[in-house]
Structure 1
Amino acid sequence: MKYQPIDSQLFIKNRKNFASKMKSNSLAVFNSNDIYPISADSTMPFQQHRDIFYLSGVDQEESVLVIFPDCPKANHREILFLKETNDHIAVWEGEKLTKEAALKTSGIKTVYWLKDMEKIMFELMTQCDTVYINTNEHYRANVETETREDRFTKWLKERYPAHQVAKSNPILQRLRSVKDPIEIDLMQKACNITEKGIRRLLNFIKPGIWEYEIEAELMHEFLRNRSKGFAYTPIVASGNNANVLHYIQNNQQCQAGELILLDVGAEYANYSSDLTRTIPVSGKYSERQKAVYNAVNRVKNEATKMLVPGTLWADYHVEVGKLMTSELLGLGLLDKADVQNENPDWPAYKKYFMHGTSHHIGLDTHDYGILTEPMQANMVFTVEPGIYIPDEGFGIRLEDDVVIQENGEPFNLMGSIPIEADEIEDIMNS
């Protein structure tokens, strides 16, 4: 890993919080992700399953975590199973976690090699009544691939059919959505790396460059600051490409007078940042572009103020819709008749702003969080309104990541990244 070691107290606290929500005499199991093959002997870069990372800090394939708070054997209340390392593996693949290193990373004292897992699991399963399985129940999840977690669940239910089964995900949805100060620190580092990338671009972008060159500049800056790269597939969308919400081809040349919509963010220690800025290729916005830009920025600023404890996500989006409707009327994109005759299920503003304004962010870019429950302090949300005008050849979206505070307005993790149109012009032309 490129990132600096994380204080194991974070993972100790996360396990304690999870264990406190478990049924009596139950255990929970969490698996690492697979390394996915491409073809021949090629594989995709490993990405750790965020749940086992959240609970242990282990960032390695073929790892399993067991939490069993009521186990009769005190040393089996927390167990890590790891792929056995040896000198041969160290030479060919690099150093893997030793038992001593796993303890230092996670705070878990009992570490076994994975080859012993079935035998030890048999003992554990004779001592518990309920087993928590870890299913993916995120509201955006649409997974066709069978995961290592899926295979384990299938094996477990076949081998131990008499046990009750419970779900880890509802517990994790609530725990992971409220960030520990250590987590907020890590997210701030991801945002700071993103800032370095954006400032680099403001001195790089000019007519004639290609979208992929911009992507390359960002990747260079991210890597040199201990990130492994983008937190999600980057969007570098010049001109009308910005009106494709998930444009990721990044293969067009940027022309004078166009805008570039950049939806990009660095990861750090598996934590995401998620930023959008819309920048003039020639270093100056046209009068119309600036009017739309400032309208989006006003909506973003007012929407941010609504992210306070107790706010309901659905109500928040209704209020943001009202703000956007007012701005679109001012820009002449809507008229009063459009609003009076709108379909309540698809309000008039949706013609120009068709996506949501905010989502949870953390270990996942679209992070865990139950959207039907009120917002709480130390949740982190994006704020990302946009106006998309294909007929005029541009789209504008602005986005920051903010931490809900117990009192007062949210804290903007991206507050030092240029966003005002005049400031962006000044930097580009300095």
Structure 2
Amino acid sequence: IESLKKAPFEAVFEQDSKSLLTLARMRKDEDEIARIKDVGRRAQEVFARVVEFLSSCNSDKEGVLKKDGEIVTVGLIKRLIRMWADELDLDTSAEEVIFAQGYDAAVPHSRGADEAAIRVGETIVFDFCPCERGGGYFFDMTRTFCVGEVRDEVALVWRRVLEVQTQVLAQLEVGRPACEFDEMCSSMFEEWGYPTLRKKPGTSSGYVHGLGHGVGLQIHEMPYLSALRGDKTPLAAGHVFTVEPGLYFPDKRFGVRLEDVVAIHGDGTIENLTPFSKEILVPLKGRPVKTA
């Protein structure tokens, strides 16, 4: 753009340069998709290490305990996440890790209280969006965990969030407007009786955010799978975006969110770049499994 401005002829821009760059950045080539997928592969290794660590723990009335008896806190898990990310050549400095438990899990962008002890049966929303070392392409994924046991009410909500995500992923299609999938998500949640921003603007309970966003050199890019934004961008080859339905209940002190990254290849093939397990239960060593 700068070169065109200096050229010996008049260049007329119908949109400002920022908009042009935004639109250009929305479409990734195969090399860019491969880089995002590689960041995702390493991000999922961090998730696997978190699950393995928690599974090695025990518990008592104070909370979840390490093998040496130390209480496991949110802050300890975050330090381990940053350490493992560093070992895997991932940069976590641009976006703070979300490891939010209990009430914090019911507030979509709460980072979680570092001093909080990890407790059996509490929902934990783990949202991780690392970047290539030194700057570059981002990835963004979320899983919800319960350590040791899962309450019936939580299990039901988790199953419904998973069903919505599964249905949306199955319906993704080149040419369909991005916002259409958020409408689909809201309709499913409303059929089950949950509040949504569409039916109850400003609600802090139920489905309280859009379905997804583009991912690339920034963590939030076009296209936005959001009815509130009204993004009617047709899904197209080169788009890389998240699908992240969630339900949140501050009054009940829990929330559930699942987030995958999806890429549309040049030939129109749609690939989920986030095959990591969505299982909510993280069993504790020596503790009987209790699920709904």
Is the TM value for this pair above 0.5? Answer: yes
Measure, in 1, the Cα distance between the counterparts of 2:198 and 2:244: 22
Correspondences of 1:301-316 after superposition (within 5 Å): 301-316=166-181
Select 1:234's aligned residue among 97, 106, 109: 97
Report deviation, 1:293.
0.9
Select 1:391's aligned residue among 251, 258, 262: 251
Render the CA deviation track for 1:150-171: whole Å, top value 9, x for unaligned.
xxxxxxxxxxxxxxx9622232
Report deviation, 1:368.
3.7
Cα 1:344–1:325 change in 2 (3 A) is closer
Aligned partner of residue 127 in structure 1, secondary structure: coil
Asked whether the equivalents of residues 78 and 99 of structure 2 are also in contact (C-alpha less than 8 Å), the reply is yes
Measure, in 1, the Cα distance between the counterparts of 2:188 and 2:167: 8
Higher radius of gyration, 1 or 2: 1
Aligned partner of residue 278 in structure 1, secondary structure: strand
Cα 1:401–1:344 change in 2 (3 A) is closer
Cα 1:204–1:274 change in 2 (3 A) is same
Measure, in 2, the Cα distance between the counterparts of 1:236 and 1:343: 24
Asked whether the equivalents of residues 206 and 247 of structure 2 are also in contact (C-alpha less than 8 Å), the reply is yes
Asked whether the equivalents of residues 231 and 272 of structure 1 are also in contact (C-alpha less than 8 Å), the reply is no
Measure, in 2, the Cα distance between the counterparts of 1:381 and 1:368: 8
Amino acid at match of 2:29: D
Asked whether the equivalents of residues 239 and 264 of structure 2 are also in contact (C-alpha less than 8 Å), the reply is yes
Confirm whether residue 184 of structure 1 aligns to residue 33 of structure 2: yes
Cα 1:407–1:307 change in 2 (3 A) is farther
Confirm whether residue 267 of structure 1 aligns to residue 131 of structure 2: yes
Select 2:232's aligned residue among 372, 379, 383: 372
- Gap runs ≥5 in structure 2: 58-63, 65-70, 225-230
Task: Name the count of aligned residue pairs.
Answer: 265
Correspondences of 1:12-411 after superposition (within 5 Å): 28-29=1-2, 67-68=3-4, 125=6, 127-130=8-11, 167-205=16-54, 206=57, 207=64, 208-229=71-92, 232-251=95-114, 252-268=116-132, 269-282=135-148, 284-326=149-191, 328-329=192-193, 346=200, 351-369=205-223, 371-405=231-265, 410-411=270-271
Cα 1:344–1:223 change in 2 (3 A) is closer
Asked whether the equivalents of residues 260 and 280 of structure 1 are also in contact (C-alpha less than 8 Å), the reply is yes
Aligned residues: percent identity?
A: 24
Measure, in 2, the Cα distance between the counterparts of 1:262 and 1:428: 24
Measure, in 1, the Cα distance between the counterparts of 2:252 and 2:36: 36
Asked whether the equivalents of residues 176 and 369 of structure 1 are also in contact (C-alpha less than 8 Å), the reply is no
Report deviation, 1:345.
5.4
Report deviation, 1:315.
2.2
Aligned partner of residue 91 in structure 2, secondary structure: coil
Render the CA deviation track for 1:50-83: whole Å, top value 9, x for unaligned.
xxxxxxxxxxxxxxxxx34xxxxxxxxxxxxxxx
- Gap runs ≥5 in structure 1: 1-27, 30-66, 69-123, 133-164, 335-341
Report deviation, 1:221.
1.2
Cα 1:428–1:366 change in 2 (3 A) is farther
TM-score, L = length of structure 1: 0.55
> Per residue, is there more helix in 1 or in 2?
1
Report deviation, 1:128.
4.4
Asked whether the equivalents of residues 107 and 250 of structure 2 are also in contact (C-alpha less than 8 Å), the reply is no
Cα 1:350–1:307 change in 2 (3 A) is farther
Asked whether the equivalents of residues 127 and 141 of structure 2 are also in contact (C-alpha less than 8 Å), the reply is yes
Higher relative contact order (CA 8 A, sep 6+): 2
Amino acid at match of 1:367: E
Cα 1:355–1:281 change in 2 (3 A) is same
Aligned partner of residue 79 in structure 2, secondary structure: helix
Measure, in 2, the Cα distance between the counterparts of 1:306 and 1:313: 12
Runs of 4 or more, structure 1, over 6 Å off, are 347-350, 406-409, 426-430
Asked whether the equivalents of residues 215 and 221 of structure 2 are also in contact (C-alpha less than 8 Å), the reply is yes
Cα 1:249–1:386 change in 2 (3 A) is closer
Report deviation, 1:343.
9.2
